[in-house]
A and B are shown apart, each in its own frame.
Chain A
Amino acid sequence: MKITADHVAFRDTLRRFAEKEINPFVEEWEEAEIFPAHEVFGKLGDLGLLGLTKPEKYGGLGLDYSYEVIMTEELGRIPCGGIPMAVGVQTDMATPALARFGSDELCREFLAPAIAGDMVACIGVSEPGAGSDVAAIKTHARIDGDDLVINGGKLWITNSLQADWMCCLVNIGDEAPHRNKSLVIVPMKLKGVEIAKKIRKIGMNSSDTGQIFFDEVRVPRRHIIGEQGRGFTYQMIQFQEERLWSVASALGPMERSIEKTIEYTRERKIFGKPVLHNQVVHFTLAELQTEIEAVRALLYRATELYVGGDDVTLLASMAKLKAARLQREVADKCLQYWGGNGFTWENPVSRFYRDGRLMSIGGGADEVMLSIISKKMDIMPRPQAAPNP
């Protein structure tokens, strides 16, 4: 993956934007446990940053995925995880399947305004009884003439308190779990959509997370993305971008934590010398930086293949597993070197310690990544085989 002058130009645009329009308000939004998504997305949309890889006819820039990666790395410089995540949901989790498989009509109605930043999107996969095990979701839709009538609910939905629409995974019909799913665009202002509660979390506080119930929610059948019954496959394809995005989003916070820790330990003296001068400290930071670079190399390799049209489910899953675990390690080790300061709420590393915990859980838990990798290596026992002795 080659970084061109164009990549750098986008990165600089985003950096200037974040410094002016996001970073000064982060503390306030973290406190409020929500941020003004329409306002921020509107401004990002004006700069074209919400549709880098989306088709030009819907207002996107038609660039390849490497631009998204570079932008997301830069988003990671924002001093909290919540805002980057909210943007990522809009650009890489709720919209890829729509852009790729959705009808022209559906894209004009929902994708174009999401790219412009006029509409906020969310992605509805997880449910109370099914998170990482996507096939087990229970939300279902019945066909009634030209409409779908949806019942069920979704949990842990980022952006959902402000969202205009949800890209929602539902079951239609009684086919096997992998063949009965469809992705459906559900406008959130419809009758029967209840935002049941705002969920408090240990981190990612500036981003709102909700639980949503659907009670006889009626949407037109044309809101199904692509073919009915292909939703599981579409979601698995969509997950590739979600996972690449996750990895890209982790690099910034990790590097920022290391930089902040270097600054602090260089100043802070203990036993007559800077903390950083302890070998255990600078060796640890050197090793962590090395691992970050290894993850970046894996991400860039996966991105290059993805841009070239390959299925990168395996590499993206590997990268996400590694990045998620490394994120936890970086946060924990850096925090340690801040002593008592590290344990305080406002400390930059302690926020990362809280925010960074999510990545091993969201977008498919570490264990799900391991399952996918096992499947791709063909070492996963088939379901009908005897359990492990």
Chain B
Amino acid sequence: MNFEFSAEQQELRRQARRFFESEGAMGSARRMFEGAGPHDCELWRRTADLGWLGVTVAEEFGGSALSALFLCVIAEEAGRSLAPIPISSSIYVCEQALGLAGSRDQKAAWLPPLADGSAIGTFAIAEDAGAGGQRLAEGRLSGAWTVVPDGMAADLAIVRVRAPDHNGASLALVRLDMPGVLREPVPTVDPSRQHARILFDNAISEPLDAGEGGERLWSRIADGAAVLFAFEAIGGAEACLKTAVDWASQRKAFGRQIGSFQAVKHKLADIFLAIEIARSNAYYAAWALANDNEALPAAAATARLAANEAYWMAARENLHLHGGLGFTQESECHLHYRRAKLLGVNLGGSRAWRRRLVTEIQAGRTSVER
């Protein structure tokens, strides 16, 4: 078992960090926050040009056929810079899902445009509770789903359609530019990443879960995505810690650097600790993902929970440490504060993931048991 990233992957990390910095991803996140667009299209195109959106896609579909570990590295750096691009929806979830379960035709149709960024994919798992009446029959999908990430810009969505009694589900692949698809923006806590409510009215769809059962397939998709989400969160958490440490070293109060107060420096140490724990969990989960190991479900849940916790703590404390400044929109603090919340709920909240972890522990499928 080797938990180290390879020299190549480390090099990609350096490159990605430089790239997102020089592209001004953070400034772009602020512009998107202020309403400049659903996401930064230019940054998305340039990221695609580097081949980073298709690193794990098979060569025959325009990708580089590399291990998921490469994608973990990119996710971390995207998180660090708050890059306002639909990478989590389109790549961590939609593209990975097609790679995992798509038919040959589905792969041929969608993987190349997803990998070169010309198409954007997303996923819809939250039924709009008020609407009701979600149904899927004979290739036609009806019903409303809400808080669909990047839903206004996406060309394609994987929609989880649960049976009325929530016993079992199907995954439907739906083109969003077809008749019978209506969408409207849904404001969320993080306006730098736009979300949508999508109403399907007898929209054409095709099944993604041939033979496997949608609930089970969704779990597999979510496990892989959770690892990538975790890396993105860890990147964000580290950015918050760095900002906090810089600020604590520079800002003076009562005649001293505020970082010299134990109430401040111990807090910074606690954040560091939370991040390191999350990182260890994420490395293990990345290893399980890259090696298709049976520990993945438990490892992915653990990584996701730990990373969300670390990001939330780092973002919250960073904002608090900046005092009045942290409470203003001019500071960057609130952008992370919002993103941390967003990443925490996008793939299902912590309660759902805790429950998932409990299921794995009960089934004895955790590393502890072996």
Chain A residues at the B interface, C-beta cutoff of 8 Å: 278-280, 283, 389
In chain B, positions 255-279 with a C-beta closer than 8 Å to chain A are: 261-263, 266
C-alpha gap A206/B261 in the complex (Å):
43
Q: A279-B261, A279-B263, A283-B262 are in contact. List 7 more A-B contacts (CB 8 A).
A: A278-B262, A279-B262, A280-B262, A280-B263, A280-B266, A283-B263, A389-B355
Give chain B nearest CB distance to A3 CB in angstroms. 34
Provide the residues of chain A in CB contact with B261, threshold 8 Å: 279
Size category of the binding interface on chain B: under 10
Give chain A nearest CB distance to B258 CB in angstroms. 11
Chain B residues at the A interface, C-beta cutoff of 8 Å: 261-263, 266, 355
C-alpha gap A380/B262 in the complex (Å):
42
C-alpha gap A74/B266 in the complex (Å):
36
Give chain B nearest CB distance to A285 CB in angstroms. 13
C-alpha gap A278/B260 in the complex (Å):
11
C-alpha gap A278/B355 in the complex (Å):
41
| Interface core residue of A278, A279, A283, A389 (most chain B CB under 10 Å) | A279
Provide the residues of chain A in CB contact with B263, threshold 8 Å: 279-280, 283
Give chain B nearest CB distance to A107 CB in angstroms. 52
C-alpha gap A389/B351 in the complex (Å):
11
C-alpha gap A280/B355 in the complex (Å):
36
Give chain A nearest CB distance to B84 CB in angstroms. 35
C-alpha gap A283/B265 in the complex (Å):
13
Provide the residues of chain A in CB contact with B266, threshold 8 Å: 280
Provide the residues of chain B in CB contact with A278, threshold 8 Å: 262
C-alpha gap A280/B270 in the complex (Å):
13
Provide the residues of chain B in CB contact with A280, threshold 8 Å: 262-263, 266
- Interface CB pairs A-B, < 8 A, 10: A278-B262, A279-B261, A279-B262, A279-B263, A280-B262, A280-B263, A280-B266, A283-B262, A283-B263, A389-B355
Instruction: Name which residue of chain A comes closest to B266, CB basis.
Output: A280
Give chain A nearest CB distance to B192 CB in angstroms. 33
C-alpha gap A280/B266 in the complex (Å):
8
Instruction: Name which residue of chain A comes closest to B261, CB basis.
Output: A279
Provide the residues of chain B in CB contact with A389, threshold 8 Å: 355
C-alpha gap A280/B261 in the complex (Å):
8
Provide the residues of chain A in CB contact with B262, threshold 8 Å: 278-280, 283
Give chain B nearest CB distance to A379 CB in angstroms. 15
Give chain A nearest CB distance to B248 CB in angstroms. 14
Instruction: Name which residue of chain A comes closest to B352, CB basis.
Output: A389
Provide the residues of chain B in CB contact with A283, threshold 8 Å: 262-263
C-alpha gap A232/B70 in the complex (Å):
64
Provide the residues of chain A in CB contact with B355, threshold 8 Å: 389
Instruction: Name which residue of chain B comes closest to A388, CB basis.
Output: B355
| Interface core residue of B261, B262, B266 (most chain A CB under 10 Å) | B262
C-alpha gap A283/B355 in the complex (Å):
37
The 9 closest A-B pairs by CB, nearest first: A279-B262, A280-B262, A279-B263, A283-B263, A279-B261, A280-B266, A278-B262, A280-B263, A283-B262
Give chain B nearest CB distance to A49 CB in angstroms. 43
C-alpha gap A283/B264 in the complex (Å):
11
Give chain A nearest CB distance to B166 CB in angstroms. 8
C-alpha gap A279/B265 in the complex (Å):
10
C-alpha gap A279/B355 in the complex (Å):
39
Give chain A nearest CB distance to B356 CB in angstroms. 12
Give chain A nearest CB distance to B23 CB in angstroms. 41
C-alpha gap A389/B355 in the complex (Å):
9
C-alpha gap A279/B263 in the complex (Å):
6
C-alpha gap A389/B167 in the complex (Å):
11
C-alpha gap A280/B260 in the complex (Å):
12
Give chain A nearest CB distance to B219 CB in angstroms. 15
C-alpha gap A283/B267 in the complex (Å):
13
Provide the residues of chain B in CB contact with A279, threshold 8 Å: 261-263
Give chain A nearest CB distance to B268 CB in angstroms. 13
Give chain A nearest CB distance to B256 CB in angstroms. 11
